[in-house]
Amino acid sequence: MTATLLTDRAVIRLSPFDDGEDVRGFLQGLVTNDVTGALPVWAALLSPQGKVLFDFVVWEDEADLLLDCEAAQAEALAKRLSLYRLRRKIGIASDPALGVHWQAGGGPTPDPRLPALGQRWLGKTEGDSADTAWLAHRLSLGVCEGSAELSDLLWLECNAAELNGVSFTKGCYVGQENTARMNWRAKVNRRLVVVPLAQSDPARQRAAYRVLGLAVDHLRVEDIPEERLPDWIQPS
């Protein structure tokens, strides 16, 4: 059997505890992407200054929403969302019965960021780990995710616009002001890029993957050689 389980991912379930509760409406006012339409989508919860706290993929399960997130950050994400819940009757908790699965290639459920990332789905937490294969595939396409690579950076510097991680037409959300201003001014001064480890700048390095010989650097746009930009980013 092909290994598909991403063991470093977890699922948080948001559930309405009252018929009048709207889970999509609750999350819509918090995250960077539009969760009122077709799902899944990639999104982030930002600080009021527009910097990344958490990134995740949002799925639907009837009236519930499911957040496919970094397992190491799942508890912190659930706590952060609970701060915004106030008196609303919404359950926010990990769902240990569900796991995140992935495989390379085409199919019915392409990753919402980039079809070339392969197929992604939620299912039972069973099967062998695909973490190593997923990491290599993701980095080969120049796609960054997770706290080690994204945390405390401005969302558009994480290539969120190019990877369908932000809606510029939805209503307000936490951190929208700085994100919208960067977009309107077309002023993304730095970007995350995947580079050969031997060419990584230690001062700008976010993460290093020595087995793969790769690193993620946060570089000024003018310092990024055109050949280091993935084909889904159009050089300016």
Residue 58 DSSP class: E
pLDDT tens digits, 128-144 = 999 999 999 999 999 99
Sequence ranges of the domains in the chain: 5-185
CATH number of 5-185: 3.30.1360.120
Which DSSP symbol is given to 51? B
Q: What's the confidence (pLDDT) of residue 186?
A: 80
**Is residue 194 classed as helix, strand or coil in its secondary structure?**
strand
Q: What pLDDT is stored for residue 1 in this prediction?
A: 59
184 confidence band (pLDDT: 50, 70, 90)? confident
* Separation of alpha carbons 229 and 206, rounded Å: 17
pLDDT over 80 (residue 206): yes
pLDDT band at 236 (very low <50, low <70, confident <90, very high): low
Q: Exposed/middle/buried for 230, CB within 10 Å: 0-12, 13-18, 19+? A: middle
pLDDT attached to residue 235: 60
Average pLDDT, integer, range 189-199:
96
pLDDT of residue 2: 83
